[in-house]
Amino acid sequence: MKHLIALFIIISLFACQTNSKKKKETKASNQWVSLFNGESFDGWHIYNGGSPDGAWSIEDQAMKFSPNNKKEGDPVMNLVSDKSFSNFELSLEWKISEAGNSGIFWGVIETPDYSEPYYTGPEIQVLDMGDPKYDPAAEKEKEYYEAGAIYDLVKPSQQVAKPAGMWNHVLLHIDHNNNHGHIVLNGVKIVEFPVHGETWEKMISESKFSEWKKFGITKVGKIGLQDHGNTVWYRNIKIKELSNKT
C-alpha cells in the first residue's frame, strides 16, 4: 500500500510539472515580440541574400525604402524576415508616398527558384488610394487591388486607409489550426478569409496566381516587405505567435 501511495505521489508531481510547463509554453506563445528594434535591420535581409544597403535606411525609428538611392544594377530589394512563422498575429504601421505602391507578404518561401516573394507569399496591398492615376487590372473589381486587400484574392469590406504621408496600422491574423485569417486596418476588420483548404485553393485558381505552383501553399513562411519602386515606411513591427497545436 505504501508503495502505491508513493507511486501516486510521484505521478501527481510529474503531472503538475507537465501542466505547469504547458501553461508556461502557452503563455510564451501569446507574447508580442518585436521584429524591428527601430535602430538596425537585425532579423531582416534582402530576399535571396544580402543586407539592406542604400535603398533601405532607418529614419525616425522606421524602415524607409527610397528607390532613388538604388544603385545601377541593383536587384529588386524586397525585405524578408530571417525567421519563418506559421500561426501568428503581425502588427505594424505603414506610410506610403504620393502615388506609392508596396505590399506586406506572409507565407514567403525563400528560394533561388523564385526571384520575388510574391511568387509564393500572399500580399496585403499597401497603396496611396488618392492616386488619380490608379488603374487596377480590368478583369476584376478595383477593390481587389485597394489598400488592405489581399492582392487579387480578397477585397476589403470598406476603405479605411489614410492618405499618403499618414501612418496606417494593420493587424494580420493567420491561424492554420482553425483555418482562419483576417486583416484589421486602422481598427476596422476589413478582410476575413480561409488560410488553406478547398475554398482558399479555389480563390487562387480564379486569380492571376492560378498557374503559380508554390503560391499560397505553405503553412510556414517568412514575412516580407515589398520594393515596388516607390518610397514607403514601416515601423512598430511586432509578432505574436499562436499555438501550433492542431
**Domain-embedded: residue 168:** yes
What torsion, rounded to 10 degrees, do the Cα atoms 194, 200, 202, 204 define? 130
Residue 246 falls inside a structural domain: no
Which of 95, 155, 164 is CA-nearest to residue 128?
164
Strand partners, 95: 233
| Residue 234 resides in a domain | yes
CA pair distance 25, 84, nearest whole angstrom: 19
Residues 6+ apart with CB under 8 A from 210: 204
CA–CA dist 190, 226 (Å, integer): 21
> Is residue 72 domain-resident?
yes
C-beta separation of 172 from 90 below 8 A: yes
CATH number at residue 152: 2.60.120.560
Tens digits of residue pLDDT in 70-118? 888 788 999 999 999 999 999 999 999 999 999 999 999 999 999 999 9
pTM, two decimals, is 0.86
Nearest CA to 97 out of 19, 163, 154 is that of 163
Q: Does 40 share its domain with 23?
A: no
- Residue 226 covered by a domain: yes
Count of structural domains within the chain? 2
CA–CA separation, 214 and 37 (whole Å): 32
What integer pLDDT is reported at residue 142 of this predicted model?
86
Q: Would 57 be classed as within a structural domain?
A: yes
26, 39: one domain: no
Query: Do 174 and 87 contact (CB within 8 A), yes or no?
Result: yes
Q: Is the pLDDT of residue 57 over 50?
A: yes
The three three-digit cell numbers of residue 242, written as one number: 499562436
Q: What is the pLDDT of residue 133?
A: 62
Domain that includes residue 208, residue range? 35-241
Q: Which helix (H) or strand (E) holds 33?
A: strand 32-34
Q: Give the tens place of pLDDT for each residue, 192-215.
A: 999 999 999 999 999 999 999 999
Residue 105 sits in the same domain as residue 227 = yes
In a domain, 178, yes or no: yes
Return d(Cα 238, Cα 91) in angstroms, integer: 5
Q: Give the separation between CA 40 and CA 43, rounded to whole angstroms.
A: 9
